[in-house]
């Protein structure tokens, strides 16, 4: 097949990695892939997989008809069989650019689905998002919809060995400093641990609009000597190699890559009960869960992991096995290829 793979809105971190993964796997499988990207992605072109073509367009939003015309002109010679859109802006522009000549497939990177509904088919990350699409799509409820979770490179035989835990234990969290990520909850939970006189060190990697507020709150809680904020983490594997527990306290998360990275690194996980997290791993068996937005719940679950190394070891091994079986590139690429081939067949039977 000839496949357009597009992201025209904001795409950094995990979303950009997913877009590139799709292109690489589809190209390796023999499909001709054209990445249609915003000009803002010019600095990221060194990360484009080998063998994949690229077109850059300037666009100013969902209703930029000039950008849609420009995209259509660029795609005319490529003649795509399928167009994959990784954001609502891509859905809007590709629907106008392809003019019905190829189905537009929306990949759902968040729990917000309304602006993706004009797509011809959907690739939700979780069953929770799948159900949200079906509730919202009153016009064409029979559109093809296939769950395709995020993926990560991992070998079944590479479970990291048991590591000597730091003394005191080192607790980590990382990501974009945005309120939805819940790092304020993380800082407050560390304050609870300090009040309980539990020894620990903590590191919060990342940057963003919440940085000043997080730094000031940590100071007021007396955490200046126990919590470090090293800035944006370019290499997550190095960060994870130096922590004993990873906390992902997000208020909302569709299906983040960070928990998968931690599972592959062999780090026990404390996740929030955000819907995406609950579908990724089984509570008490593969990860511990804390209530969304609840510092006390987060501190209580952290205390369990800190005091029970056997529990932490059992969880990290189970999370690794789950990641290999359900979220490895091999497992997820099978689902992806089945989905795009099924969507292509469904579309072609009407042409």
Do the domain assignments include residue 163?
no
pLDDT of residue 350: 53
Are residues 35 and 92 both part of a single domain?
Answer: yes
Rounded Cα distance, 272 and 252, in Å? 9
Are residues 94 and 132 both part of a single domain?
Answer: yes
Are residues 28 and 118 both part of a single domain?
Answer: yes
Tens digit of pLDDT for each residue in 175-207? Answer: 999 999 999 999 999 999 999 999 999 999 999
Do the domain assignments include residue 290?
yes
Q: What is the DSSP letter of 208?
A: S
Count of domains observed in the chain:
2
Residues of the domain holding 36: 2-151+328-348
Do the domain assignments include residue 165?
no
Name the burial class of residue 33, with classes exposed (0-12), middle (13-18) and buried (19+) by CB atoms within 10 angstroms of its CB: buried
Do the domain assignments include residue 156?
no
Are residues 218 and 319 both part of a single domain?
Answer: yes
Q: Which residue has 């932490």 as its token pair?
A: 312
Are residues 80 and 225 both part of a single domain?
Answer: no
pLDDT of residue 12: 67
Tens digit of pLDDT for each residue in 234-283? Answer: 899 999 999 999 999 999 987 889 999 999 999 999 999 999 999 999 99
Rounded Cα distance, 103 and 97, in Å? 11
Classify strands 2-7 and 32-38 as parallel, antiparallel or unpaired. parallel
* CATH (domain of 22): 3.40.50.2000
Contacts of 243 (CB under 8 A, 6+ apart): 170, 171, 172, 203, 267
Rounded Cα distance, 335 and 86, in Å? 17
pLDDT of residue 11: 67
Are residues 13 and 74 both part of a single domain?
Answer: yes
Are residues 315 and 175 both part of a single domain?
Answer: yes
Are residues 241 and 299 both part of a single domain?
Answer: yes
Do the domain assignments include residue 164?
no
Beta strands, E only, the chain: 2-7, 32-38, 53-57, 82-85, 104-108, 121-124, 170-176, 201-207, 227-231, 245-248, 269-272, 288-290
Are residues 130 and 257 both part of a single domain?
Answer: no
Do the domain assignments include residue 41?
yes
pLDDT of residue 15: 83
Counting as low any pLDDT under 70, the low residues of the chain are 11-13, 139, 349-351
Cis peptide before 208 (omega within 30 of 0): no
Identify the CA nearest to 267 among candidates 252, 284, 247. Answer: 247
């Amino acid at each position: 097949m000839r496949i357009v793979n597009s992201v025209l809105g904001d795409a950094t971190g995990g979303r950009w990695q997913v877009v590139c993964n799709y292109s690489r796997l589809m190209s390796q499988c023999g499909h001709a892939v054209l990445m249609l990207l915003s000009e803002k992605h010019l600095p990221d072109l060194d990360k484009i997989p080998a063998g994949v073509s690229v077109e850059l367009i300037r666009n100013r939003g969902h209703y930029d008809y000039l950008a849609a015309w420009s995209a259509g002109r660029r795609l005319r010679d490529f003649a795509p069989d399928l167009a994959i859109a990784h954001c609502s802006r891509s859905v809007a522009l590709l629907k106008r650019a392809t003019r019905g000549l190829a189905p537009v497939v929306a990949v759902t990177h968040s729990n917000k689905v309304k602006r993706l509904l004009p797509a011809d088919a959907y690739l939700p990350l979780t069953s929770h998002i799948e159900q949200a699409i079906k509730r919202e799509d009153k016009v064409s409820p029979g559109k093809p919809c296939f769950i395709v979770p995020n993926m990560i490179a991992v070998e079944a035989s590479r479970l990291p060995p048991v590591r000597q835990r730091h003394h005191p234990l080192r607790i980590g969290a990382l990501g974009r400093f945005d309120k939805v990520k819940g790092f304020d909850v993380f800082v407050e939970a560390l304050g609870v641990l300090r009040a309980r006189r539990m020894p620990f060190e903590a590191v919060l990697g990342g940057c963003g609009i919440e940085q000043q507020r997080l730094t000031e709150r940590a100071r007021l809680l007396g955490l200046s000597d126990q919590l470090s904020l090293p800035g944006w983490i370019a290499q997550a594997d190095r960060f994870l190699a130096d922590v004993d527990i990873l906390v992902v306290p997000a208020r909302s998360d569709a299906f983040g890559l960070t928990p998968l990275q931690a599972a592959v690194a062999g780090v026990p996980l404390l996740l929030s009960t955000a819907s995406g997290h609950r579908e990724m791993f089984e509570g008490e068996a593969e990860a511990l869960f804390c209530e969304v937005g609840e510092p006390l719940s987060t501190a209580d679950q952290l205390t369990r992991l800190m005091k029970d190394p056997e529990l932490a070891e059992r969880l990290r091994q189970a999370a690794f096995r789950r990641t290999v079986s359900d979220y490895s590139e091999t497992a997820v690429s099978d689902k992806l290829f089945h989905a795009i081939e099924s969507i292509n067949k469904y579309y072609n039977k009407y042409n």
